[in-house]
């Protein structure tokens, strides 16, 4: 057995809060490292097991428990290169506390930074990248399929910290060409690897099928005998004009294909998805079958997407899971967002999209989904296989 297989591995990522993609990434990493002693590290102690996640310890607590034991640190992925301490600290707050904190501090950079540092117990500007000196004996530091398409738009001090941490790592892989170009220009050596979520169907299909046969997913499938579209949007879509545009598009899609519309959350942490926004959206669609899906369980969400007729949403991992199950999918751009700042566009520009548009504005959703559905099933099947093959080649 290789020496590293005797060492504990620390899986480090943003799976310390409820975000569909981050919770899934931890499971993919766990599967890839089966047989190793694993610890789940985040920025705070959190137990997400009730929604299909893991029991997570603050990284400092993990370090203290392991003492001088040699460890491997593995960053499991996600858009962690551009997540600031302020953003991380707010997203770790209870949902009912975050609005007051943001209202008080958002326009005060100095106080905001001090509050975030106190909340996290760290002075780092990019805290989801391993803080220096935390572990006594680090054998290796690896970043796996991380993202950072807005890295060149960060303030200089944070960007310099990110670059320095990556330059000190044992290995770095990124999930899109846009991030790789930025990092290589900054002097960071890295290679491409698909987001690990492309493996979800290959690794977890039986588990996901089991969730489709029970609970809320089974009720949705029963309520939509001709099938449904799985639809997600973040709280950024909550203004009246955007909701009106989305409602018109979803009604059109539901009528044209005789499908139900199921609205689900891909994240319940602050600055993610908002159930109240979905209820307002559903209220605007009185003439088509609409279900607001309430479960936040990771495997329920996977099953909902996997058993849909197609996916539309702003979540990159929603798109990736749909692609892994060879389903039509189209990304949603936030109001005012450009393709250049879209994680979905960056991922599709690197790995392909099986004939579907990477992402469209809300007013173009129906035509985008029609294009996605028009792609052949054989092409979608081949694309799913290609992503799995590319993941294996990058390991």
Using pLDDT thresholds of 50, 70 and 90, give the confidence band for residue 4: low
Q: What is the pLDDT of residue 210?
A: 97
Judge whether 328 and 355 are in contact, CB under 8 Å.
no
Using pLDDT thresholds of 50, 70 and 90, give the confidence band for residue 387: very high
Instruction: Quote the mean pLDDT of the chain.
Output: 96
Q: What is the pTM assigned to this prediction? A: 0.96
Domain count, the chain: 2
Using pLDDT thresholds of 50, 70 and 90, give the confidence band for residue 395: confident
Give the tens place of pLDDT for each residue, 146-193.
Answer: 999 999 999 999 999 999 999 999 999 999 999 999 999 999 999 999
Q: Is 190 helix (H, G, I), strand (E, B) or coil?
A: coil
Q: What is the DSSP letter of 19?
A: B
Same domain, 81 and 115: yes
Helix or strand (DSSP H, E) at 41: strand 38-42
What are the structure tokens assigned to 75, written together? 């960053």
Using pLDDT thresholds of 50, 70 and 90, give the confidence band for residue 280: very high
Same domain, 217 and 139: no
| Euclidean distance between CA atoms 14 and 54, whole angstroms | 11
Same domain, 375 and 266: yes
| Euclidean distance between CA atoms 137 and 5, whole angstroms | 16
Radius of gyration of the chain (CA): 21
Q: Among 163, 193, 223, give the residue marking a domain's end.
A: 193
Percent of the chain predicted with pLDDT > 90 = 96
Q: What does the pLDDT average to over 272-301?
A: 96
3-state helix, strand, coil in the chain (%, to 5): 50, 15, 35
Helix or strand (DSSP H, E) at 146: strand 138-146
Same domain, 312 and 357: yes
What are the structure tokens assigned to 344, written together? 């979905």
Using pLDDT thresholds of 50, 70 and 90, give the confidence band for residue 355: confident
Same domain, 166 and 214: no
Same domain, 35 and 93: yes
Q: Among 193, 222, 255, give the residue marking a domain's end.
A: 193
Quick one: which of 213, 131, 197 has its CA closest to 168?
Answer: 131
For residue 5, pLDDT over 50 is answered with: yes
Quick one: which of 347, 343, 346, 351 has its CA closest to 387?
Answer: 351
Q: Is 360 helix (H, G, I), strand (E, B) or coil?
A: strand
Mark out the alpha helices in 213-359 (DSSP H runs): 215-223, 240-257, 275-283, 298-306, 316-324, 343-351
Give the CATH number for residue 180: 3.40.50
Judge whether 223 and 291 are in contact, CB under 8 Å.
yes
Q: What does the pLDDT average to over 56-73?
A: 97
Domain interval for residue 175: 3-193
Same domain, 189 and 290: no
Same domain, 187 and 211: no
Q: What is the pLDDT of residue 1?
A: 36
Same domain, 212 and 246: yes
Judge whether 292 and 283 are in contact, CB under 8 Å.
no
Same domain, 127 and 241: no
Percent of the chain predicted with pLDDT > 70 = 99
- Residues present in the chain in total: 395
Question: Residue 354 — φ and ψ, nearest 5°?
Answer: 55, 40
Cβ contacts of 96 within 8 Å, gap of 6 or more: none
Give the CATH number for residue 333: 3.40.50.2000
Q: Among 170, 193, 216, give the residue marking a domain's end.
A: 193
For residue 227, pLDDT over 60 is answered with: yes
Q: What is the pLDDT of residue 2?
A: 54
Give Cα 271 distance to the centre of its chain.
Answer: 13
Give Cα 209 distance to the centre of its chain.
Answer: 21
Q: What is the pLDDT of residue 286?
A: 82
| Euclidean distance between CA atoms 389 and 139, whole angstroms | 29
Q: Within the chain, how many helices (H) and strands (E) appear? A: 16, 14
Same domain, 167 and 245: no
Same domain, 289 and 188: no
Give the tens place of pLDDT for each residue, 300-347.
Answer: 999 999 999 999 999 999 999 999 999 999 999 999 999 999 999 999
């Amino acid at each position: 057995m290789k020496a590293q297989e005797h060492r504990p591995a620390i899986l480090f990522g943003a799976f310390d809060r409820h975000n569909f993609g981050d919770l899934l990434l931890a499971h993919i990493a766990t599967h890839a490292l089966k047989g190793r002693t694993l610890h789940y590290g985040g920025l705070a102690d959190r137990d997400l097991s009730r929604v299909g996640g893991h029991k997570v310890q603050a990284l400092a607590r993990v370090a203290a428990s392991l003492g001088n034991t040699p460890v491997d640190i593995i960053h499991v992925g996600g858009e962690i290169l551009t997540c600031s301490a302020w953003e991380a600290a707010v997203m770790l707050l209870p949902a009912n506390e975050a609005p007051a904190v943001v209202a008080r501090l958002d326009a005060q950079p100095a106080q905001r930074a001090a509050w975030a540092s106190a909340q996290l117990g760290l002075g780092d500007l990019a805290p989801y990248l391993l803080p220096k000196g935390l572990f006594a004996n680090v054998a290796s530091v690896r970043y796996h399929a991380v993202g950072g398409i807005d890295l060149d738009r960060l303030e200089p001090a944070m960007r310099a910290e990110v670059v320095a941490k990556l330059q000190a790592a044992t290995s770095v892989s990124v999930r899109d060409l846009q991030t790789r170009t930025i990092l290589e220009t900054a002097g960071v050596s890295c290679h491409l690897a698909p987001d690990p979520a492309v493996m979800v169907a290959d690794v977890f299909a039986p588990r996901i099928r089991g969730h489709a046969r029970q609970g809320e997913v089974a009720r949705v499938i029963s309520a939509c005998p001709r099938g449904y579209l799985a639809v997600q949007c973040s709280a950024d879509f909550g203004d009246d004009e955007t909701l009106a545009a989305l409602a018109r598009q979803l009604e059109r899609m539901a009528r044209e294909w005789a499908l139900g519309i199921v609205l689900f959350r891909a994240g319940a942490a602050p600055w993610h998805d908002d159930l109240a926004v979905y209820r307002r959206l559903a209220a605007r669609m009185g003439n088509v079958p609409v279900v607001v899906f309430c479960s936040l369980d990771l495997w329920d969400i996977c099953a909902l997407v996997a058993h849909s007729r197609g996916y539309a949403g702003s979540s990159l991992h929603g798109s990736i899971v749909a692609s892994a199950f060879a389903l039509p999918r189209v990304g949603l751009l936030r109001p005012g967002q450009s393709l250049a700042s879209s994680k979905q566009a960056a991922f599709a520009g690197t790995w392909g999209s099986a004939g579907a548009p990477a992402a469209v504005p809300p007013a173009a959703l129906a035509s985008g989904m029609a294009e996605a559905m028009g792609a052949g099933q054989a092409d979608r099947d081949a694309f799913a296989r290609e992503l799995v093959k590319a993941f294996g080649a990058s390991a």
